[in-house]
Amino acid sequence: MGYSHIPQKWAPLINEFNQSYLNPYINYHRPCFFAEVIVDKKGKERKRYPYNQMMTPYEKLKSLPNATSYLKTGTTFKQLDEIAHQISDNDAAERLQKAKTKLFQIIFEGTSWAA
């Protein structure tokens, strides 16, 4: 969350922020590079991160062979697609930033930094 200590009393608020804003943003809207392992002539493994392998973690999950076997019982890709397409990537990023600003404002105003 940053470079300074946040008192434990704010943990429930931070957990709520993570579950409501950060995790959905990272899983459904933030692209990541995924490594491609290439073995050279000497047997050494090298990792490359090609641009065409960039996708969200959710898109990567869907691209795996037999991906439905990794879902919890009762969860479908149709349900997850609805979550992923509820909001655009840019709107999700804006929503995350606003929530983070509000969270830090609450923490900053409620914390006495003088020890």
- 84: tokens are 């992923």
Q: What is the pLDDT of residues 3-51, one digit of tens each?
A: 777 888 889 999 999 999 999 999 999 999 999 999 999 999 999 999 9
Rounded to whole angstroms, the Cα distance separating 23 from 3 reads 20
Q: What is the pLDDT of residues 40-85, one digit of tens each?
A: 999 999 999 999 889 999 999 999 999 999 999 999 999 999 999 9
DSSP code string of 34-68 = --EEEE-TTS-EEEE--GGG-B-HHHHHHHSTTGG
Residues 46 and 37: beta-carbon distance below 8 Å: yes
Rounded to whole angstroms, the Cα distance separating 32 from 49 reads 10
Instruction: Give pTM, 2 decimals.
Output: 0.81
